Chain A
């Protein structure tokens, strides 16, 4: 682009396509970008593809959502239904609900697009959740990716917001009940709650404004924020490069995998159509949100089995688990002439608050405890970070208990148990479940580490029993090849970091706390087999047995 390049004779393309691409390239420098991106290496592993699933679901959401906006009318004006669904003919309802029914029954392909949109929304949040679990359990949030973890967490919240605002739009009985719960939660906030509710709904619930407002959030603000966050997220992925699972030849300074172009680009492009295809098949064959069943919203009726979509389920579940009284103490209190509805406020905000706070903070919590500020591009196998894995499992179980509580009525009817008993059990599990999960997950991780160590040292059990000439029976162990063994022994195993004095020679209270947590984190550890141990294991007399050829000759 400089003076030197202009001095060279101008490049003339021979074909039409060549001239066209050269025209574009000489103006925007596309080939440089393509060269850079085309050489970007992505490691191949199925668990790395959930972020892609989320991205593709979002693209599908944009496409199907745009189609829906052509026909949806977010007005809460009253009308009488005059479409082709007979059981609702002549029923008084809002224009929003009526137009949703028209999309379902009178717009060509409308029901299919509505179902694509809704299934894609469920898959969008689900794939984000699975992606985050993968990132957490493999330790991919460590330096340099802490900020990307935060962006991802923001994306999760935005996805939930997008989902909930969309869920409320059809203005059917189900979504109206959901909105009423949100209204109740908002009103339970002390002092300002009633004002916020009044401003949000433009007066007393349900008012005539809320659907239009949610519609604007749903199609404008939230998707724009999601798009912005996706750009940030992907930008950081490019800057940081992708992580990789441990393996021979992989370290924190390289990325082993396929370049983006052409193989990976083709795979990723194909994968978009696979996700689209799966969603289209789901939408074609399985009903989602049959709004015609629920009827128009009316604040008086509530249907049995009224639940939010799955990603809001844990909040609904927490609300269901909350008792109205604790012993003789009423959870709803009247203080200074104000009503404090803690039975709504606590379950609706506290578990979600704890969950998201810990989620956002976790990279820094672990960094503080371990004092590990190095760059990590090689992932941990979950078993090789037993305490982190156990923390993750504990949080996951806590979430799942609340999640299950949202379906407590269906658990009761489908397993023929008492609804009350389901609630009591889940209340107990709410407190005990994470502890059991923590202990079990940590033990399982340590046991798997021991098994890895055992296999690295003594090889794999073949199940072949051999009788030696002097009568002894032994089981033949097949030694591992170098590549497989590397995976079992080539991992970091941090040890407890005792408290160290600061520059004034003082061990601060905070440092003592850190040392305590470090002990809690790392005191149970199974060290990987060292080269010396491997050497010793192969030289301690069983060498003849462990070599398969020799063993074979012995068995004859």
Chain B
């Protein structure tokens, strides 16, 4: 302890303390946010699913979306949005929404697979809408090159060519697509959540969507052939890196080279 108290006025003490504080808060945050994530699948709905889903809806969603999902001033009507929309919004934790904001954020899912399934069944029963995608479209065995072309033409302007995400107006943003399941990508394309446009089957065919998913999964598993990807954010990240790390190391060397033993 004596050594510690003697060193407390050391010029680096503040930096050490700051670093320690940052590490602790960052570490706690990381632990607190890694809660289990659920995965949903299945396609057929029984009447009991619809019934249970209705109860869940009334208890958790109706405050904003209204009884019978008819909508209120706080939330849109969900008649005709289809099971795919529910599976995406609830399955990624975006719904139920934590708070009003520029857009609903991805967060730990609030319902298990069965409950999500039941909610989807209920909303699907209210009116016809996009259903969950077939497994054959999610097998990630499409044409990655064709998917890449579709992605660059239709998606890259918001999601970035490397699917690293990008900014939209007034606090909205297109999220990064790494770690998003193929099913959720497909559902997002057919339902157009948040600010995303709908890519209907006449716009991008189901096979095209399969190719896009294949492309995204392939670049994700490919990793970065050239070393650490610096977030795939392009020249800004590269510039920051050369100024901070590159020049930083060079400056350290210049100081070492010109220092004299005195």
Contact = CB atoms under 8 A, between A and B. Distances in A.
Interface in A238-262: none
Nearest to A293: B162
The B contact surface, by secondary structure, is helix
A290 B229 CA distance: 8
B79 interface: no
A303 B235 contact: no
Contacts of B254: 46-47, 49-50, 53, 271
Interface string A281-305: 0111111111011110010111111
A408 B233 CA distance: 13
B116 to A, nearest CB: 27
A363 interface: no
Given A126-B246, A287-B227, A89 B157 contact: no
Contact of B239 (A270, A301, A309): A309
Contact of B236 (A298, A307, A418): A307
B234 to A, nearest CB: 5
B167 A304 contact: yes
Nearest to B163: A293
A282 B242 CA distance: 9
Contacts of B251: 46
B202 to A, nearest CB: 19
Interface in A401-427: 406-410, 412-413, 416-421
A501 to B, nearest CB: 49
B219 A87 contact: yes
A290 B170 contact: no
B145 A89 contact: yes
A23 B160 CA distance: 64
Most buried by A among B232, B233, B236, B249: B236
For B167, B232, B257, the residue with the greatest tally of chain A CB atoms inside 10 Å of its CB is: B167
Contacts of B117: none
Given A53-B250, A287-B224, A306-B234, A301 B173 contact: no
Given A46-B257, A87-B218, A303-B156, A122 B164 contact: no
Contacts of B160: 303-305
A123 B241 contact: no
A87 B225 contact: no
Contact of B246 (A270, A282, A284, A304): A282
A409 B225 CA distance: 26
Q: Which of A298, A309, A313 lies at the interface centre, i.e. has the most chain B CB atoms within 10 A of its CB?
A: A309
> Main SS of the interface on chain A?
helix
Contacts of A104: 225-226
A288 B245 CA distance: 14
B253 interface: yes
Contacts of B258: 44-46, 48-49
Contacts of B148: 87-88, 91, 295
A434 B214 CA distance: 49
A115 B229 CA distance: 12
Nearest to A270: B257
Contacts of B229: 287, 290
Nearest to B239: A310
A223 B94 CA distance: 54
Given A174-B161, A295-B148, A304-B158, A87 B222 contact: yes
Interface string A42-67: 00111111100100000000000000
A383 to B, nearest CB: 20
Interface string A64-92: 00000000000000000000001111110
Contacts of B253: 271, 274, 278
A406 B233 CA distance: 13
29 contacts: A46-B258, A47-B254, A87-B222, A88-B148, A91-B145, A105-B225, A123-B247, A130-B247, A274-B253, A278-B246, A278-B250, A282-B242, A286-B227, A287-B225, A290-B232, A292-B225, A294-B152, A300-B153, A302-B156, A303-B160, A305-B236, A307-B234, A310-B235, A310-B238, A313-B235, A410-B167, A410-B236, A413-B165, A418-B169
The 10 closest A-B pairs by CB, nearest first: A304-B166, A310-B239, A287-B226, A409-B167, A303-B161, A418-B171, A46-B254, A293-B162, A122-B242, A412-B167
Given A409-B167, A410-B237, 11 more contacts: A46-B251, A49-B258, A87-B144, A90-B145, A123-B242, A123-B247, A173-B156, A270-B257, A271-B257, A305-B236, A421-B171
Interface of B: 102, 144-145, 147-149, 152-153, 156-162, 164-171, 173-174, 215, 218-219, 222, 224-230, 232-243, 245-247, 249-251, 253-255, 257-258, 260
